[in-house]
Amino acid sequence: MLLLRCPLPLLLLLLPLSSRPQKLPTRDEELFQMQIRDKAFFHDSSVIPDGAEISSYLFRDTPKRYFFVVEEDNTPLAVTVTPCDAPLEWKLSVQELPEEASGEGSGDPEPLEQQKQQITNEEGTELFSYKGNDVEYFVSSSSPSGLYQLDLLSTEKDTHFKVYATTTPESDQPYPELPYDPRIDVTSLGRTTVTLAWKPSPTASLLRQPIQYCIVINKEHNFKSLCAVEAKLSSDDAFMMAPKPGLDFSPFDFAHFGFPADNNAGKERGFLKSPKFGRQTSPKPRVDLHRVCIGNKNIFTVSDLKPDTQYYFDMFAVNTNTNMSTAYVGTFARTKEEAKQKTVELKDGKVTDVFIKRKGAKFLRFAPVSSHQKVTFSIHSCLDVVQIQVRRDGKLLLSQSVEGVRQFQLRGKAKAKYLIRLKGSKKGASMLKILATTRPNKQSFPSLPEDTRIKAFDKLRTCSSVTVAWLGTQERNKFCIYKREVDDNYNEEQKKREQNQCLGPDTRKKSEKVLCKYFHSQNIQKAVTTETIRGLQPGKSYLLDVYVIGHGGHSVKYQSKLVKTRKFC
């Protein structure tokens, strides 16, 4: 009941060619370990091995197909595809294995190319398909026997990717498990340093497997996988140059694996220890991306940063036995200004990201260049409640607590200067977005109703659907609704630990999207819309999120709603 481990020509020769069926070989663990050590065994192979992650390369608009065999019905199966530096289109399908050859009972094997054409010309039954750059997977507790085909395509550019498949997903568990709170906390912030802390992976704390943590720091964006980090680091390096047509990147060549080489490179399978951050952490100085692996510690201070600069931090838990990794929820932070710069200047009509450490405060200054009758401050608090105070020429005009999105409109004054004080939460670090403008029509954040809850109709629940409603406004906005299946013990406390509210629908998996639509009503009393979400499983819990997207492209998430379908209908 295992995936076949042999090159495609050998796979085709092993298919039954005579009138008497032949059983396909199963996994010989000792032989398999020997084959893994022999890098040439899987080089240029179209066969996916069982329980081992392979790395390969796609040329743009040139599809690639992989095969594996499941010998018996009701076999568990899990397939994971990890895009690296470009979105992928991939499809998994299955077709029945031929039981007899067409050799008219002679028992003579058919020519190899004829066998290959006989198998690969059939499309088979599609099981799963996906398009995007998320780490996506197919899992089945009971798969039919047959020849499985994995088709991959990159339409944007040449790219690397990784594939992992197994028929023993429960026992293998090669990817480290994330803790119940997978966020990275910024515990200390300086002008040139940021201290990060995170909860350990249960794979290390409970299962006692060797886990090390790798931190990635850059100024552009967060990464969804370590594979994407490696692709960025090696974009100007010879480590993962495009192979010649017809040759795959050797899936077991872990000599570098995206990390700086040392004298023992290539001798052992496993992550190489990276030097300390700030020294030799990337192959090319011009790549503005740094990575450091710190062993099993769960607190680390990043140093040698630039003052008043926003950085993005990603954390990856790496199983050193399997070389496979899982991403924590990334975060960002802006380092403190130089001592002489005590306030941040706000520009009229421009959204500014603000980070405030626990119990800390941040000062901002807004000085309109022209005369104005009114000034508007729009604030979107990403995590917890923040306090805002606004003074005009020393006079206190506003003192409020802000949760979610709030807008304040104040009377203007010629040549006035506004000082804004933002105070963070006592519970932890705060992140927010703020916009100041003297133009009343400049609204980067979408308007919101006073009540941003999602209502579920209990009487309309079925075994496969739920019906929900939410309020809109008089302004025409785009609304997108997403669903995610969660465990039955998922509770309100866990909802609070979700990633920050400023992350929009672009951070969600494409498979979680239900629909998007435009909605508004001139009569505010009738600004309500309903949706029935179908295709759900009986007796399952789902977390529903509604995003409203404004004209400026900024999105705001309504309060998440936990629903459960009926178990019996």
Q: Quick count: other Cβ atoms within 10 Å of Cβ 189? A: 19
Q: Check residue 34 and give its pLDDT.
A: 42
Output the pLDDT for position 498: 65
Closest CA relative to residue 409, chosen from 440, 369, 452 = 440
What is the Cα–Cα distance from 148 to 66, expressed in whole angstroms? Answer: 8
Task: Give the span between the Cα atoms of 468 and 485, in whole angstroms.
Answer: 16
Q: How far apart are CA 308 and CA 330, in angstroms?
A: 20
- Strands 455-456 vs 430-437: parallel, antiparallel or unpaired: unpaired
Residue entry with tokens 């997978």:
182
Of residues 271, 264, 291, 288, the one with CA closest to residue 280: 291
Q: For residue 524, how many C-alpha atoms fall within 13 Å in the half-sphere facing its CB?
A: 8
Dihedral angle of Cα 493, 494, 499, 501, to the nearest 10 degrees: -50
Half-sphere exposure of 269 (CA within 13 A, CB side): 15
pTM over 0.75: no
Across 351-367, b (16+ Cβ under 10 Å) vs e yields: beebbbbbebebebebe
> What is the rounded distance in angstroms from the CA atom of residue 435 to the CA atom of residue 370?
17
Q: Residue 139: which H helix or E strand, with range?
A: strand 136-143
C-beta of residue 524 within 8 angstroms of C-beta of residue 475 = no
Residues forming a β-bridge with 55: 162
- Position 252 scores a pLDDT of 35
Give pLDDT, residue 170.
Answer: 79
CA quadruple 23, 28, 34, 38: dihedral sign: positive
All domains of the chain in start order, with CATH: 52-97+124-172 (2.60.120.680), 174-237+287-338 (2.60.40.10), 344-437 (2.60.120.680), 454-564 (2.60.40.10)
Q: How far apart are CA 320 and CA 564, in angstroms?
A: 38
Beta carbons within 8 Å of 458's beta carbon, 6+ residues apart: none
Do the Cβ atoms of 41 and 20 come closer than 8 Å?
Answer: no
The β-bridge relationship of strands 52-58 and 159-166 is antiparallel
Mean pLDDT by 10 residues, the chain (569 residues): 41 37 41 42 66 88 90 89 90 79 43 46 81 89 90 91 88 85 93 93 82 93 89 59 39 33 37 36 59 92 91 93 89 84 82 86 88 86 88 90 85 88 85 87 76 91 94 89 88 65 84 91 87 93 90 83 91
The pLDDT of residue 359:
80
What are the backbone angles phi and psi of residue 547, rounded to the nearest 5°?
A: -110, 135
Q: Would you say 475 and 447 are in contact if contact means Cβ atoms under 8 Å apart?
A: yes
Give how far Cα 224 sits from Cα of 157, 201, 522, Å.
18, 17, 41
Residues 6+ apart with CB under 8 A from 271: 212, 214, 257, 259, 293, 318, 320, 323
Encoding tokens for residue 325? 């990794």
Task: Say if CB 223 and CB 233 are below 8 A apart.
Answer: no
Yes or no: say if 309 and 170 are a contact pair by the CB < 8 Å rule: no
User: Could you give phi then psi for residue 37, rounded to 5 degrees?
Assistant: -70, -25
- For 393-540, where are the E strands, in sequence order? 395-402, 405-411, 418-423, 430-437, 455-456, 466-471, 477-486, 513-519, 528-533
Question: Computed from CA positions of residues 214, 216, 222, 228, in that sequence, does the dihedral angle turn out positive or negative?
Answer: negative
pLDDT of residue 27: 47
Q: Which of 404, 133, 186 is nearest to 313 (CA)?
A: 186
